[in-house]
Amino acid sequence: MLDGTRNKEIIDRQFNSFTPENIFKPNSLHPEENTFNWPEADQMLDYALSQNKRFHGHTLLWHNQLPLWMENFQGNSAEWEAMLKTHIQTICHHFKGKVKAWDVLNEAFNEDGSLRNSIWKQHIGASYIEKAFVFAHEADPEAILFYNDFNLALNDKKRDAVVSLIRNLKQRNIPIHGIGLQMHISIYYPSNVVIASAMKEFYQLGLKVHLSELDISLNPRGLDIELTDKLLQKQAQKMYSVSLLYQQIPKAYQYGITFWGHSDVHSWIPSFFGREDYPLLFDANYKAKPMYCKFLESL
Ligand code: G3I
């Protein structure tokens, strides 16, 4: 069947790294306070490792996809901190030695550069960030620890806030090793110049740069579009440029490029935004698109 054999063939043959899109998020891995849900996650991880893929854990902390018990947790700040520690360390211990790297924290900032008022900030204060990285490092000292966010190329205010957080963490030897620059981009923006300067700013802080969650929208404004070869070529060109720019950063700071899915048929974008779009490397019939060919050409 198309959605079985070809799908598996693409995953096995075309990629060397796995990132779970949803099943490593808190609501999935930690659905009740005293219950962790390992089977589906273990199965995916073991399959990836059996195929010699690197496994990237996404994500220990986020303000979305939280279990209800966590959102409704009652306790003082010390109890919240203990809960945070148990959440992070139970998961990191379970996958120790298998999950190569973690998005420890996802999307902690607002677009104006202020810290998002997440449950963690409300109950522990801004120091929850450094605590989260320390807890993860204690549980798995070998794991590469990332902060992951969107619009860090496009939005100066947000980027400045993240840069100053990271500078501060590094000055105090808090274990943070990488930045995930979410690449939910489009054929129109951000410009290549802006993407290159964001990568540079972060590797100059000594962080590995992960171009995470990459997809390239053809229709960011949600218009009625006709899928033309011209649009597909523009998308291919954007992919080519981004990949070349990435390869210009020093090798020691390259962690990799992760696509947010492989076939347009499984992309989160059409259902999430309610619009027609074709953001990934393979079309709905799992046929390689021009974007795939130009990406290969860039490597
Ligand atoms: O699993 C349930 C299923 O049981 C139910 O029948 C169905 C009906 O709505 O929902 C299914 O859950 C959906 C889940 O994806 C799995 O498909 C959720 O509704 C849906 O909200 C969820 O969307 C995910 C989204 O994060 C949640 O905010 C997307 O797949 C996922 O691609 C997206 O990923 C995020 C990154 O983690 C962080 N950066 C942004 C990125 C895009 O939003």
**pLDDT tens by residue, 131-141:** 999 999 999 99
Q: What does the pLDDT read at residue 3?
A: 58
Residue type, 72: N
pTM: 0.96
In whole angstroms, what is the distance from residue 140 CA to residue 134 CA? 10
pLDDT digits (tens, 9 = 90+) for 174-198: 999 999 999 999 999 999 999 999 9
Residue owning the nearest CA to atom 38 of ligand 1: 106
In whole angstroms, what is the distance from residue 110 CA to residue 158 CA? 7
Is the predicted pLDDT of residue 265 greater than 80, yes or no? yes
Atom from ligand 1 closest to the CA of residue 182: 39
In whole angstroms, what is the distance from residue 182 CA to residue 58 CA? 12
Distance 148 CA to ligand 1 centre (A): 17
In whole angstroms, what is the distance from residue 238 CA to residue 241 CA? 5
User: Does ligand 1 lie within 6 Å of residue 65's CB atom?
Assistant: yes
Q: What does the pLDDT read at residue 6?
A: 87
User: Does ligand 1 lie within 6 Å of residue 40's CB atom?
Assistant: no
pLDDT digits (tens, 9 = 90+) for 210-239: 999 999 999 999 999 999 999 999 999 999
Record the tokens describing residue 112, joined without a space.
């104006």
Catalytic site residues?
A: 107, 213
Distance 22 CA to ligand 1 centre (A): 6
Is the predicted pLDDT of residue 74 greater than 90, yes or no? yes
Residue owning the nearest CA to atom 35 of ligand 1: 21
In whole angstroms, what is the distance from residue 138 CA to residue 140 CA? 6
Is the predicted pLDDT of residue 2 greater than 80, yes or no? no
Ligand 1 probe mutation, 21, 213, 273, most atoms within 8 A of CB:
21
User: Does ligand 1 lie within 6 Å of residue 188's CB atom?
Assistant: no
Cα distances from 119 to residues 31, 73, 100, 215, 218, in angstroms, run: 16, 9, 27, 29, 35
pLDDT digits (tens, 9 = 90+) for 19-40: 999 999 999 999 999 999 999 9
Atom from ligand 1 closest to the CA of residue 150: 39
Is the predicted pLDDT of residue 170 greater than 70, yes or no? yes
Q: What is the largest CA-CA distance in the chain?
A: 58
User: Does ligand 1 lie within 6 Å of residue 22's CB atom?
Assistant: yes
User: Does ligand 1 lie within 6 Å of residue 213's CB atom?
Assistant: yes
Counting every residue, how long is the chain?
299
Is the predicted pLDDT of residue 296 greater than 50, yes or no? yes
Mean pLDDT taken over the chain: 97
Banded pLDDT at 50 (limits 50, 70, 90): very high
